[in-house]
Structure 1
Amino acid sequence: MEEKTAEESSSPTQVRVMLWFIPRTLSTAITKCLSFVDGIQIIFEPYLYAYYYGPERKQTGVSEMYDNFLDKTNDAVTDKVDLAKGFIPDTCTYDWVKQTLEADYPGKKIVFCKDASYTLDGQYDRLPQGYRHTFIIRHPYKLYTSWRRLVQRFLQLQEPFYWHELPEPIRPAKYGLEEHYELYQYLINHGMNPIIIDADDLQRHPESIMRKYCAAVGIPFTEDLLQWPSGDDILHTWMAPDGLIQGNKLGNEGGFYDVALQSTCFGPPRETPSRASLREDVRYMSDASMPFYEKMYNHRIKP
């Protein structure tokens, strides 16, 4: 697949950026931060939506637990929330996502999409042309501890349970980080030069990392990107799944995005837990994923 350069995209001056993420890596906070850049169009998780809800949605490992997972998230999707530029399950195929990302956005200086790399599901021919690809990573001990906690709360699972033994796609087949690395390596092999940032680096050195990230992809940096208003009003400027974001408040402690949407800045990182302190399944997934994290970490933007 040949990728268009920024100069070959629909507008010769329009910057287009993909931020590939794994859940619990600060990607929504980054997206909210960049939402206040003048002339930006945010497109929020279209591949993830196709993967879980569209006509080509992932079906492997179907079980009662997975049906429960879909029922809960469908409740969120059908919540009565009006996002002006939302998209709906019936039309959200992978080809539709590609066409939407490649569409013209008149009057916009920047098109920025964030999406989960594992939900591309290896369909690299569905990657959009004309984009600068970037990745965010996080130490596996933190990533899987946080992700497991979210899944447990969301599905109301009682201990003991072993997350790595749950059916796909409640957890990715290769636990997310390996899929992340595979997409990164694919882009490298096809002549692209993806940018990587690490979540801990971003929290410890937000100005340095955001300044370098913006310079690398062509987004203008100002110090206004280091602090933003709390709340979710900015969502109404996004192109996002109808109801998925604001309808995500499931469980006693909120949903997937609440912390990021209520944030006002990149706060300091939490201490990385020791390997010995991890739950058995978190340790298993971390050990399996650590080599891919380390390979990407070695190529990250440094403060």
Structure 2
Amino acid sequence: MTKRICLWSGPRNISTALMYSFAQRADTTVVDEPLYAHYLSTTDAHTYHPGSAEVMAVQENDGAKVVREVILGDYPTRLVFFKHMTHHLVNLDWDFLDQTINVLLTRDPRDMLPSYAKNVKQPTLRDTDYADHLKLLDYLRSRGQTPPVLEAKQVLLNPRGVLSRLCQQIGIPFDEAMLSWPAGPRPEDGVWAKHWYHSVHQSTGFEAYRPKASPFPEHLKPLLAECQPYYEQLAALAIQADQSQPEG
């Protein structure tokens, strides 16, 4: 039986690095944000997301069809890893989540917001996924699931340890191959990669965590205040680097 792992992330949360990590497994197919065009076509996000017209032109816009044919479709491997943004779940029936293994990924908004604002100049709470993550978490719990939570800094502090615990929690063996990958793009990258994936294309593994050196932008401080309480609730649930196996 195919195991379908859905990573529900916010933007600029090392989600692409995690997709590249899972792509190194011989038993895994990876799929990059299959619901992105659905989200763009059913919200006003297409007016401010870079490259939105191209995304909607090349990717299926019907979210229900994506769920049926892509997320719940047939694959040659025993594992399928779907990288998603949580806000892409808008205007969809969430029943399919009963058939997927769901993982949440978050990042400190003090690190995330300045990075995201380079592409989306005036982000709102909806764009960040912090509130949506808690809504999704509540829904999954109501369906009897206890989804693992990843926090970007903790992953970067101890990739081997945190990923080992994640694999244990979702019932798959850890694979050392997940810790590194060749530099450059992957064929699974969405067409939006040229706008968002420059850093990950230069990487060959999880980069060591480095706090932001520049001052936090003044214009983002009101949004930071909105995001912080949601983030803190999520971070409290995350797999911790110091509770995991040594990086070694």
Q: Are residues 1:139 and 2:139 paired? A: no
Distance between the aligned counterparts of 1:26 and 1:109, measured in 2? 24
1:92-142 residue CA offsets vs partner (Å, 9 max, x unmatched)? 31111210211222x311011010001212635364442111011110111
Q: Matches of residues 5-154 of structure 1 in structure 2 within 5 Å?
A: 11=1, 14-53=2-41, 57-59=42-44, 67=47, 69=48, 72-75=51-54, 88-89=58-59, 91-99=60-68, 100-105=70-75, 107-121=76-90, 123-125=92-94, 127-152=96-121
- Tell me the residue number matched to 1:81: none
Question: Gaps (5+ residues) in structure 2?
Answer: 242-248
Distance between the aligned counterparts of 2:232 and 2:224, measured in 1? 11
Q: Are residues 1:282 and 2:220 paired? A: yes
Distance between the aligned counterparts of 1:227 and 1:59, measured in 2? 37
The DSSP-based 3-state class of the residue aligned with 1:43 is: strand
Instruction: Please give the TM-score of this superposition, normalised by the length of structure 2.
Output: 0.86
Q: Return closer, same or farther for 1:126/1:282 CA change in 2, 3 Å cut-off.
A: farther
Q: Matches of residues 82-231 of structure 1 in structure 2 within 5 Å?
A: 88-89=58-59, 91-99=60-68, 100-105=70-75, 107-121=76-90, 123-125=92-94, 127-152=96-121, 163-164=122-123, 171=124, 173=126, 175-231=128-184
Instruction: Please give the TM-score of this superposition, normalised by the length of structure 1.
Output: 0.72
Distance between the aligned counterparts of 1:122 and 1:293, measured in 2? 24
TM superposition shift of 1:172: 5.2
Question: Gaps (5+ residues) in structure 1?
Answer: 1-10, 61-65, 79-87, 153-162, 165-170, 250-254
- Tell me the residue number matched to 1:84: none
Distance between the aligned counterparts of 2:50 and 2:149, measured in 1? 35
- Tell me the residue number matched to 1:266: 206
Aligned residues, how many?
240
Instruction: State the identity as a percent.
Output: 22
The DSSP-based 3-state class of the residue aligned with 2:35 is: helix
Distance between the aligned counterparts of 2:49 and 2:104, measured in 1? 27
Give the helix-richer structure, 1 or 2. 2
Q: Return closer, same or farther for 1:222/1:21 CA change in 2, 3 Å cut-off.
A: same
Distance between the aligned counterparts of 1:28 and 1:202, measured in 2? 13
Higher relative contact order (CA 8 A, sep 6+): 1
> Which entry has the higher C-alpha Rg, 1 or 2?
1
Task: Tell me how large the CA RMSD over aligned residues is.
Answer: 2.4
Query: Are the counterparts in 1 of residues 125 and 227 from structure 2 also a CA contact under 8 Å?
Result: no
Q: Return closer, same or farther for 1:182/1:98 CA change in 2, 3 Å cut-off.
A: same
Distance between the aligned counterparts of 2:207 and 2:89, measured in 1? 30
